[in-house]
Structure 1
Amino acid sequence: MYINRHILTYVSRMKNQFRVLLITGSRQVGKSTLLKEKLLPEYEYVTLDEFTELSLAQNDTALFFKNHPLPVIIDEVQRAPDLFLQIKLLADNSKEKGQIILTGSQSYRLLSKAADSLAGRVCIINMTSLSLREKFSIDFNREFLPTADYIESRKKSIIPYDNLWNHIWRGSMPELADDSMEWEPFYRSYIRTYLDRDVADLITTKNLVKFHNFMQCIAARVGELYNAESLARDVGVTSKTIAEWTSILESSGVIKLLQPYEKNVSNRAIKTPKIYFMDTGLVCFLVGWTSSQVAMNGAMAGGLFENFVVSEIIKSYYNAGHETEKIFFYRDKDKREIDLIIEKDNTLYPIEIKKSARPGIEMAKHFPVLSKLAGISVGQGCIICQCDKSSYLSDDVVALPIEYI
C-alpha cells in the first residue's frame, strides 16, 4: 500500500532546478519507495545494498556510470563516498537538471562529503517518516504557523484523528501503516538494522550494546533538556562519547535537538537544547510501552504528547520544502518556559503543547515574556491540545486541536 508523500511536490520542483538531488532521512522512512513509485521508469534505479553494484562503485566509479547512464537514482550512496567526485564531473558536463538523484540513511559523513564535492550543484532534502496529514490522506501541505490565515485554510481540510494515541504509540514508519505489520518485531528489526548498518561503522563493536542502552536512556528523556553528563553516568561512558553518539542519532534523523531561542534575550535564558525523537513509536519501543493505553496513561504521557506535536510540526516544514532553523523553545532561569517559538518575518509565534482536552488562558502565562524582547514582534500564540474545536482564549491566543497541525 503506497501512501502519497507530501515531499514529492518539493522533490519534483527541485529536480528542475538542481543537477543533483540528495534525499536524506532515517532508515525506512520511505525514500526508496517514493522514488521507485514516482520516478521509474524515467530513471534507472541502483541500490548499493547489492554487493556487485557496491563493489563496482567503490573500485571503478567511471565504469559504474558507464553501466548506469543518466538519469539515475543511486540508493544508499553513503556506502561509496568515492562516487561523489565522479558525480561532480557528470553534473558539470550535463546540461540537464535533475539527472542524478541520491539517497542515504546515514548523513553523519554523507552531508559533509556531498557539501565538499557538490557545492552549488546539489539540493539536500530531508525526508521524515509519515505525518498524520499523510496517514489520513489530507491534501494540505503548508507549514504550520498559528496565524489567522493558516487556521482558516487548515480548517477546510480538517479530519478527526481517530485513535490518536494509537498513532502516537504505533509510530509513523510507513510499514506500520499496514495494520497487519506487528509493532514489536518491526522495531526490534529496525534497531538491529540501524545498529548494524548505520552505527557499526562509526563506533567500536564493543560499544554497540552501550549505544543501544544510550538510545533507551535518551528516549526516556524526550521533551527534557539535553544533559550529556547525566546520560554519561547512566550509560557508563564519557560525556564526550555521549556528545558523539548524540550527533550520530541527530544526523541520521532519529532525534531532533531543538535549540533555545537566544536572540536579544538576557543572560538568564537557558542555552541547552531539548531532546525530541522524530518517531514516537520508536520512543515507546525503547522505553518498553507495549500498548497505546500504557503510553497514554504513563508518567511520561505529557512529554510523549509534546514530542509527537513537535515532530508533526517539524514534518510540516520539511514536507513543504523549508528548514527548521527558525523553530525554537524558550526557558529561563526563573523557569518560565514556552514549548515552541516559531520565528517568521521578524515575528515570534509562541506555542504551548498540552495533553489536556480543556485549554485555559493560564497555559499561556509565559507568552508575555517575549514582548519584552527588543527589535522583534510577537504574533498570535496558540495552545495545541486535545480539545474538540478551535477557540480563542484571548485576543491573541487560540486553542487548537492537534488536527490543525
Structure 2
Amino acid sequence: MEYIHRDLEKKIKELAEDYSCILITGPRQVGKTTLFKKLMDENRTVVSLDDLEERKLAQTDPAMFLQMHDLPILIDEVQYAPQLFPYIKMAIDNGASASSFWLTGSQAFRMMELAQESLAGRTAIIHMSSLSQHELYGAGDNIEFSVDLETLKQRSKNGTKAELSELYERIWMGSMPGYRSGRYKDRNVFYSSYIQTYIDRDVSELITNVDKLVFMDFVRAAACRCAQMLNIHDIANDVGVSDETIKRWLQVLEKSDIIFYLRPYSNNLLKRTVKTPKLYFFDTGLVAYLTKYTTPEILENGAINGAILENYVVSEIRKTYQNEADECLMWYYRDKDSNEIDMVIESDGMVHPLEIKRSVNPGSELTRAFRILDKGAVPRGKGAIICMRSELSAVDSENYIVPIWTI
C-alpha cells in the first residue's frame, strides 16, 4: 500500500508545538489515524476504542484508563468514550505538555460538541476529509481556492491537466484513501463494505431499531439528488417513509460527514432569495457507486453527469480550506425570479460568484446572474466560470475562466 501525503501534515506539525490536545474529526476511513501514525514517533502510546475492553474501561473508569496508558497518547475513535473528555481537560489544566493527546473521532458533530463543552480553548479541532485533487494529482503546497489571479496562476502550475474523460475517471474513482492508495483493489467491494460498515456502526448507534435496507434505499435516493436543492418530500416518496423520518435521517448523514449543504446566500437587501439548501456528498466515488454507474464512461454520459461534476468542484474547493484547518464562507444563490449562481464565496469583505459548467467554451452570458449580487450589502468581487477549458483564461476583466483540474 502506498501512503499518499496529506496536506494537513504541515498544519498538524505546527499545532503540535502549541496544543496539548489535537482532535481530528471526519468521515470513516479518510485516513485520520493513518495520518497521526505517520507523524508520531515510537514513544507515543496507541489505543483504539474499537477494542471493546479498552472502550469499557474508558467508559466506566476514565481516570484509570488514563493511568494505564502513558503520555503522549493517540486515542482512536474517541467518540465511543466521551467520559474521557473531562479527565483530559484536567490533565491539560495540570500542565500536560504540548502534543500529549492526539484524538480521532468519526462523528464530527458529536466530537465538536464534546470538545467544545469540555475542552474549549484547550484543543485544536481539525476536520479531515477524503483525499483532495491536489493530494492525488497536484504538486507544491496546498493553496486555499480564491478568485485571485496570482493564486489561480499558481494553481495552474501545481495541477495536473485532465480532459473530460480523465476528469470523470477521477470523479468515478472517488477520493477514499483505502481504495486510491491501492490497499483495496475492487472498487465495488470497497464501497459496499464502506457503506455497510457505516450503517452497522454509526447509523445503528444514532437511530434505534433502524431498518438497514430502508436506510440504504434512503442513502441511494439522496445520492441521486446530489448538487440539487433539497426536496425532503420527494425523497420520502421514493423511500416510502414520512417526511419527518427523512429529516432525521438527513441529520444523521450530515453528522456523520457523509453529506454537507450549501445554504442559500442572502442578506437584508436581497429579500427574494429561496430558503432551501443544496445537498452535496463528501465523496463523488460514493455517489457513483450508490447510483450504480459502473464505469467512468457511462457516468460521463449519464443523467447526473452535470450534478456530480458540480458536487466534485464544490467538495474540492471546500477541501482546500479544510486542509489548512480553515473555514470558507460558501453559499449558492437562487431567487424567486430564477436567477441562480452555483456558488458564492466570501473573503476579505467581498463576495465572489462562481458558475460550474461542463463546457469547454462557456459564453459570457453565464456571468449575467453575477450582477444580482450588486444589490447586496457586501461588495461583489471577481467572479469565475469553472469549466473544462484546458488553460486559465478570462471572460473579461471582472470574470475568469478556471479549468476544473486546477481546483
TM range (shorter): over 0.9
The aligned counterpart of 1:2 is: 3
**Secondary structure of 2:254's aligned partner:** helix
Aligned to 1:399: 401
Matched, 1:49 2:50: yes
Secondary structure of the 1:378 match is coil
Mark the CA change 1:378 to 1:108 in structure 2 (over 3 Å): closer, same or farther.
Answer: closer
SS at the partner of 2:22? strand
Q: Is the 8 A contact 1:270 1:333 kept in 2?
A: yes
Structural mapping, 1:262-273, within 5 Å: 262-273=266-277
**Residue 109 of structure 1: how far off its partner (Å):** 2.6
1:61, 1:82 within 8 Å by CA — same for their partners in 2? yes
Aligned to 1:330: 333
In structure 1, C-alpha distance between the alignment counterparts of 2:403 and 2:201, rounded to whole Å: 39
The alpha carbon displacement at 1:108 in A equals 4.1
Structure 1's unaligned 5+ residue stretches are: none
Separation (CA, whole Å) in 2 of partners of 1:85 and 1:373: 45
Task: Please tell me whether the aligned partners of residues 228 and 242 of structure 1 are also in contact (alpha carbons under 8 angstroms).
Answer: yes
Counterpart contact for 2:332–2:344, Cα < 8 Å: yes
Match of 1:168 in 2: 171
Residue 349 of structure 2 is aligned to residue 340 of structure 1: no
Match of 1:13 in 2: 14
CA drift at 1:382: 0.6
Residues 24-39 of structure 1 aligned to structure 2 (within 5 Å): 24-39=25-40
Contact 2:167 2:405 in 1 (8 A): no
Q: What amino acid is aligned across from residue 296 of structure 1 in structure 2?
A: E
Q: Which amino acid aligns with 2:79?
A: Q
CA–CA distance in 1 between the matches of 2:174 and 2:119?
35
Secondary structure at the aligned position of 2:211 is classed as helix
TM-score between both structures, scaled by the size of structure 2: 0.95
Q: Which residue of 2 aligns with 1:389?
A: 391
Supply the distance in 2 between the matched residues of 1:178 and 1:84 (Cα, whole angstroms): 33
Map 1:6-405 onto structure 2 (within 5 A). 6-161=7-162, 163-178=166-181, 181-324=185-328, 326-374=329-377, 376-405=378-407
Asked if the contact 2:360/2:387 (under 8 Å) is kept, the reply is: yes
CA deviation string 1:283-337 (max 9, x = no partner): 011111111011110011000100000010000010012113x111100011111
Q: Secondary structure at the match of 1:365?
A: helix
User: Which deviates more, 263-272 or 32-41?
Assistant: 263-272
Secondary structure of 2:385's aligned partner:
strand
Normalising by structure 1, we get a TM-score of 0.96
Question: CA offset at residue 370 of structure 1?
Answer: 0.8
**Alpha carbons 1:76, 1:102 under 8 Å: kept:** yes
Q: Per-residue deviation at 1:243?
A: 1.8
Classify 1:16/1:238 alpha carbon distance in 2 versus 1 (closer, same or farther; 3 Å): farther
Deviation of residue 68 (structure 1)? 1.1
User: Is the Cα contact below 8 Å between 2:138 and 2:158 reproduced in 1?
Assistant: no
% same residue? 42
Contact 1:106 1:252 (C-alpha < 8 Å) held by counterparts:
yes
Q: How far off is 1:265 after superposition?
A: 3.8
CA distance in 1, matches of 2:221, 2:281: 12
State the Cα distance separating 1:117 from its structure 2 match. Answer: 1.3
Question: Contact between 1:108 and 1:247, CA under 8 Å: does it hold in 2?
Answer: no
Paired amino acid for 2:352:
Y
Is the 8 Å Cα contact of residues 158 and 406 (structure 2) preserved in structure 1?
no
Question: Deviation string for 1:40-66 (max 9, x for gaps)?
Answer: 324221111112211221222122111
Matched residue of 2:325: which SS?
coil
Q: Which deviations, in whole Å up to 9, do the C-alpha atoms of 1:185-231 show, x marking residues without a partner?
A: 00000011000111101112343222211111110001111122222
Which SS does the other structure have where 1:89 is aligned? helix
Contact kept, 8 Å, 1:260 with 1:270, in 2: the verdict is yes
> Relative to structure 2, which stretch is displaced further, 100-109 or 345-354?
100-109
Tell me, in whole angstroms, the C-alpha distance in 2 between the residues paired with 1:140 and 1:296. 30
Query: How many Å separate the matches in 1 of 2:233 and 2:160?
Result: 43
CA distance in 2, matches of 1:155, 1:109: 38
Amino acid at match of 1:404: T
Runs of 4+ aligned structure 1 residues displaced above 4 Å come to none
What secondary structure does 2:74 align onto?
strand
Q: Is the 8 A contact 2:138 2:159 kept in 1?
A: no
CA distance in 2, matches of 1:392, 1:267: 31
Task: Give 3-state SS (helix, strand or coil) of 1:156's partner.
Answer: helix
82-91 or 259-268: bigger deviation = 259-268
Deviations 1:241-279 (A, max 9, x none): 222211211121111111111123432101111001110
Could you tell me how far apart the structure 2 residues matched to 1:239 and 1:276 are? 19
Equivalent residue of 2:206, what SS? coil
Paired AA for residue 315 in structure 1:
K
